[in-house]
Structure 1
Amino acid sequence: MIGSERRPRIHCGTFDAETCWRDDKLTRLPSIPDLQTRNLVNAMDELLFVFCQKQDTLLTRYAMDEAHLHYLQDIGFRFTNNKVDLDVSLPPTASSEMNIFERLSAALPYMKLEELVQDVELEPFAILNGVDVLAEQQGWRFHAPSLQVIKHVNSKVYSTELKDKLGIWNVSQFIRSCTELDSIGKALLDSGPFLIKDTFGVSGKGNLLISTEGMLNRVSTYIAKQENNDRQTLFIVEPLLNKEMDFSCQFEILPDGSFSFISVQQVLNSDFAYQGSVTAAPPLIQRLEREGYWELMQAVSNSLYESGYFGHVCVDSMVLQDGSIVPLVEINARKSMSLIKHQLDMYLDAHSLEGYLTYVSMVGSTPIAFGDVLHAMENEGLLYKNGCRNGIIPLSANTFKVNQQRDGRYKARMYVSIVASDLVEGEQLSIRLRTLLSSLAITVSS
């Protein structure tokens, strides 16, 4: 229920905010453009339904799947959503590079939305260019730091310098030219592989592992060509640490500067890319308590507030195989996948259940309706329903179908919350889901 002091909210966002924050004048690491993967990220905004309460509205780039919406309503989620894709409502001259807020500013005058509740607050996933214009255009309440502050505190430059300021062990070095990359990189290779990090890289994008001098030479040459075209270089390099576990801390800095702790989640990564989140085990929480981790997060919060930031924060941390804790890897001054996981925790806790957040990557060759997937999951006893003690909650349908085409292979992804008594039971459910998807002529990635 919505309390008397909570206004209805408009939820929306772009999950690759770092791409929007990045300075185009900087050199880039080599990468292969992938339109289908980009489409998947654009469709992830539907995951924001977890933050919605009954009077809230979720505006997504692609209209949510009707079968998926009915399922979510059946298990207790109620919210309003746009019924057509934003692109359908945009004028023909609209740019394909618009972020979600710019798209909404252009599309809303043309859209036939259900009348929005008045006196609402805009609740974005991350602050991007045009969000304040959209709020003013629609008369929505919106209070957030400036875009300049957002870019400043989300840069890995900020988190790297903050480590030194707070006296945290820091193995990172700045690279400001291809010449520095070449010399410092060769010195690092003497001790083993190292990482080159883009200042706005995220979830595997913008991290490059260098293991040989030949790889280093090719990257240095690639950077040099861009510098010759008047681009500036700013990367961070650090030795590849012998990591045992990733985890993250979520907290919120209120507008008055006060610190509100939310959760700690263990993060499952593969090749530096996000794979899922599980609730941090009690021994880790107890150890963080003993080693002053909470006081350090308070210090991080204070520094962010002094820099002009308030709002949600996700601090990435890790445990190394020698047992030592690296408390600050980087800062995400925005909402996060781990915050989405926490929101699902609260939903499941009301039913005395637990779950973990993950996704399944797939490749298909023929279109499949998401409603058919839900039906197949229900027939196999996999689909979570109210009253079940275990099951799988499909969290996204657009990431499953956004790339579907009549001819040709397409990439698909389905985010899920696996409701189980423990990780062993959860893994069994995950295997059953993958087997089911494979039976539908979908190739499931390992």
Structure 2
Amino acid sequence: MNEPCQARTGAVLFGSFDAERRWRPEGLASLPQLADPGADRLVACMDEALFAAAEPGDLLITRDPVAPALVAAREAAGYTCEHHHTGGTHPGPDADADVEHRLLANAGLLRRIGGFARLHPYAVLPATGALADLTGHATDVPGGEQVVRVNGKAWSSLLAARHGLPGAGRVVRSAAELAEAVRSYVEPGHSVVLVKDSYGVAGRGTFEVTSERRLARLVAHLRRQEDRGLAVEFVVQPLYDRVADFSSHLLINPDGSWRLLGVQHLANSGYRHEMSGPVPHALVGDLRRPAHPEVMELVARSLAEEGYLGPVCVDSMVLRDGTWIPILEVNARMSMGGLNLRLDNRVREHGLRSHLWQEDVTIHDGFDVDHLLKLLREEGLLYEGGSGAGVLLLVGGALVAPRGRLVCAALCPPDAFPRLRAATRTVAASAGIPLARAA
């Protein structure tokens, strides 16, 4: 399906942001959790934010259409690329299909993808390999089995433990092992112990053990699943007394070489990403025993040995006592912090930095994205390129009643971020989308 008459240039960006759910092997036991029917709807439209990683001449393919006014606002800010979507929002047999399967069913888009030089998927899912093969990009993506393995929290925890790094979680493979691991953390004085699903994300798949009674209920829940033949695989860690979180972003090349793209400060709301932004240089510059570059070399080398290539996000934290946990989690895919790093690199020449944040909002009847953009522009808050500070709306599809998510990037001097975020919240509330929770 390639177009041999022309030299291929540019990259194709696409992908499903619920990669962990689609990586999760069948037959694994699950943690108790409340159903959130609206969460999948919000995640499905997060691929709109991939424009942040696109360059002029690239092609962005989203699952659903993007509001024309939002595309125009991005172009006015200097973010231009070709854009297509996989085919409307009408209900049908493929309504829940990931972007990759929708692309495999779209012959026209497959031909268009074949005319570009590279594939840049958000994450490599089971269908990504077939898509790469059909469009002449087989060497652009790693094998699916390797991707599933290295993205499990068990893999990164075992890597940290094998090299004696502080904070490595304990991997447990039975309800009995889990109970023993939790108690081993409680006895030294940890009042809260976390049990993490190996393929959980954004707090979905994290269970807090705060008492012996709560542990007993969890163990009984898992034993019932073991009796049905399901396998147990969880990571157990104490809830650390952290003072700072950050993420390091790498790129693994096909030949196994790698480079550090940058480091981002990270803030979470509960266990879900809330903000990524510039990290104080002193934080990373003072990370010793082991040194930050040594840990990144270890992660990159280990991923390359597994056959992985592509973007990587390594989450780390610094504790109140000065200890740093170098490998809290490895995400072998793109990430919100990585997208913010791309935005940051684009505006630094203008003396600005990028701060990406997201928060839940209540969507009132009659809300319109066009109206929100109009109000932001009238208030002088919309980023329009160059050195003038402003806000970019990254995702419009998440602003759907009754409850949605506001996802923005503030491009401004670091000390202006709190003011710019507060002003954006005020305008959003006036447009019919007030915050759904306290900041």
Check whether TM > 0.5.
yes
The 3 A distance-change label for structure 1 pair 362 and 291 is same
Q: Distance in 2 between matches of 1:390 and 1:6?
A: 36
1:123 to 120, 124, 128: 120
Report the CA distance shift for 1:6/1:340 in structure 2 as closer, same or farther (over 3 A). farther
In the alignment, structure 1 residue 443 sits paired with structure 2 residue 431? no
Tell me the amino acid that sits aligned with residue 117 of structure 2. Answer: V
Residue 109 of structure 1 is aligned with which of 93, 104, 107? 107
Residue 251 to residue 336, structure 1, CA distance change in 2 (3 Å): same
Listed one character per residue, the Cα deviations across residues 20-78 of structure 1 (whole Å, up to 9, x for unaligned) are: 11112011011122221111111000111112122211111111110000011111111
**Structure 1 residue runs without a partner (length 5+):** 405-409
Partner AA of 2:321 in structure 1: D
Amino acid of the structure 1 residue aligned with 2:83: N
Aligned residue type for 1:148: E
Distance in 2 between the 1:227 and 1:367 partners? 49
1:148 aligned residue (142, 145, 148): 145
Larger deviation, residues 280-289 vs 361-370:
280-289
Distance (Å, rounded) in 2 between the aligned partners of 1:32 and 1:39: 16
Aligned match for 1:15, one of 6, 14, 17: 17
Shift of residue 15 of structure 1? 1.1
TM-score between both structures, scaled by the size of structure 2? 0.92
Tell whether 2:417 aligns with 1:418: no
Matches within 5 A, 1:325-336: 325-336=324-335
Distance 1:39 1:50 in 2: 21
8 Å Cα contact 1:122-1:142 kept in structure 2: no
Deviation at 1:327? 0.9
Aligned to 1:33: 35
Query: 1:231 is aligned with what amino acid?
Result: L
Aligned partner of residue 17 in structure 2, secondary structure: coil
2:424 pairs with one of 416, 429, 433: 433
- Out of 65, 68, 71, which is 2:70 matched to? 68
**Structure 1 74/304 Cα, relative in aligned 2: closer, same or farther at 3 Å?**
same
Name the CA distance, whole Å, in 2 between partners of 1:338 and 1:157: 22
Map 1:360-375; keep pairs closer than 5 Å: 360-375=359-374
Per-residue CA shift, 1:414-436, capped at 9, x if unaligned? 2111122224x211111122122
User: What does residue range 333-412 of structure 1 map to in structure 2 within 5 Å?
Assistant: 333-401=332-400, 404=401, 410-412=402-404
Quote the sequence identity (%).
29
Report the equivalent of 2:179: 182
Matches within 5 A, 1:194-209: 194-209=193-208
- Confirm whether residue 163 of structure 1 aligns to residue 165 of structure 2: no
Deviation at 1:388, TM superposition (A): 5.0
- Cα 1:389–1:417 change in 2 (3 A) is same
| Structure 2 alignment gaps of length 5 or more | 1-5
Q: Does structure 1 retain, via aligned residues, the 8 Å contact 2:392–2:409?
A: yes
Contact persistence 1:29–1:208 (CA under 8 A): yes
Partner of 2:44: 42
1:294-324 deviation line (CA, Å, top 9, x unaligned): 0221122111111221221111111000011
Distance 2:206 2:255 in 1: 35
Correspondence for 1:407: none
Aligned residues: 430
Equivalent pair of 2:129/2:138 in contact (CA under 8 Å):
no
Q: 1:189 & 1:167 partners in 2: Cα distance?
A: 21
Counterpart CA distance in 2 for 1:5 and 1:323 is 53
Contact conserved, 1:63 with 1:81, CA < 8 A, in 2? no
